Amino acid sequence: MRIEGAVTRSIWVEPDGWAVGIFDQRLLPWQVERMVLREIGGAAVAIADMATRGAPMIGAVAAYGLAFGLKADPSDEGLAASCEQLRVTRPTAVNLLWALERVRRVVAPLPPAARAAAAHAEAGRICDEDVAMNRAIGEGGLGLIRAIAARKAGAPVNVLTHCNAGWLATVDWGTATAPLYLAHDEGIALHVWVDETRPRNQGALTAFELAGHGVPHSYIVDNAGGLLMQQGAVDMVIVGTDRVTANGDVCNKIGTYLKALAARAHGVPFYVALPSATYDPATATGADVPIEERSGKEVAFVAGEGGHKVRVTRSPVRNPAFDITPASLVTAYITEAGIAAGPEALAQLLAGQG
């Protein structure tokens, strides 16, 4: 996508052919700064400290991080240690585990001297496939937007998003945003309600992306979505996800569940956009997903332009980063393989994918 007038992915290989660059999402949208990752420690810190975010992006960075770890120690012990160092950085997003296991399967049979280069190449393939998957998700979601646009006879299609499931959270296009970009580029009248998504305010990243693409949007507080649905101002909700379990439960950024409840109450379709790597049939239900509990400082302080932080409370804080939306509240899942209207259809659709 486009940032500062240039077309770019959210992760790229540096000119030396080995290091990779990413955008430091902690500074966006106020400051665009690129980070260069050259060793496993830097990749692990970027994931854990949320310099890079979004399940697909976490997976991509972890894959390259494993290559960096193997360059330092390509032994079997080094492979196991590198996988563990990266695994513990973020426990909820299944793409991280998926990417590590995929790279591990590729390199484990190889002689140690060949492992780092093979891991680096596999990480590159993961990135290329992510771009293609997100584009395909966009095509599937575009059909849903077209259908609503046809019923509205030229009036804007109003879409509600939550968190950032855009190109910054993936390698390109995004999951929930890919249909929006394609619809806008096709000339469909579109307006996006962007949840701020406290406490990290990832909605600001979505707004930053949409503004760069020229997509009409409004930034709203998290609790405004229910009222807008009640007023008939939302035609559809599209969110991304960090994990979808075997029974179709959706683990996503905290607040997603409340949007799904409001959508069901007001007859608004609620769609979940996910690549096959985010589907986790090995986990039975959402109750089995480890919910990451992050530092209370994320809630107690609010950061603004220039990185200045203001304390908003001195009370004890709990900060669960994700919640679980039951499959019963999901209208359909939008994947690179097509649209699934329920957990069983999702399992059949993604059988053999990834």
- Per-residue pLDDT tens for 273-321? 999 999 999 999 999 999 999 999 999 999 888 778 899 999 999 999 9
Q: What is the mean pLDDT of residues 7-24?
A: 95
Q: How far apart are CA 265 and CA 262, in angstroms?
A: 5
Structure tokens at 324: 């679980």
State yes or no: pLDDT of 354 exceeds 80. Answer: no
Question: Cα–Cα distance between 314 and 292 in angstroms, integer?
Answer: 22
Q: How many CB atoms lie within 10 A of CB 275?
A: 29
Choose the catalytic residue: 130, 172, 195, 242.
Answer: 242
**pLDDT attached to residue 6:** 77
Residue 267 CB neighbour total at 10 angstroms: 8
- Does 1 score more than 90 pLDDT? no
Element (H, E) at 6: strand 6-7
Query: Which has the closest alpha carbon to 82: 120, 53, 26?
Result: 120
Q: Which two tokens stand for residue 45?
A: 């810190």
Residue 131, both tokens: 């771009």
Task: Check residue 235 and give its pLDDT.
Answer: 98
Q: What is the pLDDT of residue 351?
A: 85
| Per-residue confidence (pLDDT) for residue 91, from 0 to 100 | 83
Question: What is the share, in percent, of the chain residues with pLDDT greater than 90?
Answer: 92
Give residue 308's pLDDT.
Answer: 82
Reply yes or no on whether the pLDDT at 108 is more than 90: yes
At residue 294, the pLDDT reads: 93
How does residue 353 score in pLDDT terms, banded at 50, 70 and 90? Answer: low
Residue type, 15: P
C-alpha to C-alpha distance for 192 and 158, rounded to whole angstroms: 6
Q: Is the pTM above the cut of 0.85?
A: yes
- Judging by DSSP bridges, how do beta strands 322-325 and 250-253 pair with one another? antiparallel
Q: Hey, what long-range contacts does 6-15 have (CB within 8 A, 24 or more apart)?
A: 9/127, 9/131, 9/167, 9/171, 9/172, 10/57, 10/167, 10/168, 10/169, 10/170, 10/171, 10/172, 11/52, 11/57, 11/60, 11/61, 11/64, 11/127, 11/171, 13/124
Distance of CA 292 to the CA centre of its chain: 15
The whole-number pLDDT of residue 186 equals 97
Q: pLDDT digits over 190-202, tens only?
A: 999 999 999 999 9
Over range 242-259, report the average pLDDT.
97
273, two tokens: 């956009």
Instruction: Report whether pLDDT(7) > 60.
Output: yes
Q: Which CATH number fits domain 2-129: 1.10.3720.10, 3.30.160.110, 1.20.120.420, 2.60.40.1120?
A: 1.20.120.420
Our answer to whether residue 76 is catalytic in this structure is no
The span from the CA of 284 to the CA of 232, in Å, is 35
CA atoms within 13 A on the CB side of 290: 12
| DSSP3 helix / strand / coil % (the chain, rounded to 5) | 45, 20, 35
pLDDT of 352 reads 64
Return the structure tokens found at 178: 């890919």
pLDDT at 304: 82
Contact of 6 with 34, CB cutoff 8 Å: no
Q: What phi-psi label fits residue 154: left (phi over 0), alpha (psi between -120 and 50 degrees) or beta?
A: left
pLDDT tens-digit readout, 38-89:
999 999 999 999 999 999 999 999 999 999 999 999 999 999 999 999 999 9
pLDDT tens column, 163-176: 999 999 999 999 99
Hey, what CATH topology would domain 135-350 get?
Answer: Rossmann fold (3.40.50)
Asked if residue 140 has pLDDT above 70, the reply is yes
Residue ranges of E strands in 87-211 = 157-161, 190-195
Dihedral angle over CA of 324, 326, 331, 335, nearest 10: 60
User: Domain segments of the chain: what residues?
Assistant: 2-129, 135-350
